[in-house]
Structure 1
């Protein structure tokens, strides 16, 4: 779990079917010692884990990634330069088996990451 040590939720505004969050990244997290010491970059796998954890928090269900229809890493996230992230998550459909989700990570006019896919309930 990355929440609480890799990132912290500073603000959370939930509406029916969507949630907007403000996250703070921890630039001193040990992941950045290896990815990469001189130029820390948030690994793509961490972004996906963050989406999973945030969707689990929003839905109250344990989930597993089932399908990634669109997965776009548009701009690197250097936690020293971009410590704050805005995250928008929308639940596009929900069933007894899982959820279909779109998510984006951005700050001001810079979009870092976009995701569209599905999670199944564990």
Structure 2
């Protein structure tokens, strides 16, 4: 049975289109055996996947990321040291797409990841 690299613990709607979400990282996930065995760090793609899943849950829609306008990693995330993260998400609907600004922090409020991205709803064809 495969286990997830992260778990969404809580999503709170602060106000319309503003979310605060806490996730916990699974330090025992097999990906850390290769990234990197002696000093495991969380791959950057995990942040984008968590952001997408948080939005999908909140909006009750399947989404596709179509553009990353900005992405900046400010800190390394070592899950054996800091396994709890907070995503602070601001989004708005703009011509059928969701423009998203995210700031991810450790629980001590140190910023570790900023990004601006665009998501669209996936449609069945």
Q: What TM-score, normalized to structure 2? A: 0.87
The secondary structure found in structure 2 opposite 1:80 is coil
Please list, as runs of the form range in 1=range in 2, the aligned pairs for 1:24-63 lying within 5 A after superposition: 24-63=24-63
Q: State the Cα distance separating 1:109 from its structure 2 match.
A: 3.4
Q: State the Cα distance separating 1:38 from its structure 2 match.
A: 0.9
Residues 63 and 98 of structure 1 are in contact (CA less than 8 Å); yes or no, is this contact kept in structure 2? no
Distance in 2, matches of 1:10 and 1:58, equals 13
- Residue 119 in 1 paired to residue 125 in 2? no
Q: Deviations over 1:17-68 (max 9, x none)?
A: 1110121111001110110111111111111111111111111111111111
Residues 101 and 115 of structure 2 are in contact (CA less than 8 Å); yes or no, is this contact kept in structure 1? yes
Q: Which 4+ stretches in 1 moved above 6 angstroms? A: none
Q: Deviations over 1:83-110 (max 9, x none)?
A: 111111111x214632000112101132
The answer for unaligned runs of 5 or more in structure 1 is none
The answer for unaligned runs of 5 or more in structure 2 is none
Q: What TM-score, normalized to structure 1? A: 0.89
Distance in 1, matches of 2:8 and 2:70, equals 25
Please list, as runs of the form range in 1=range in 2, the aligned pairs for 1:71-90 lying within 5 A after superposition: 71-90=71-90
Between the two proteins, the alignment pairs up a number of residues equal to 118
The CA RMSD measured in Å over matched residues stands at: 1.5
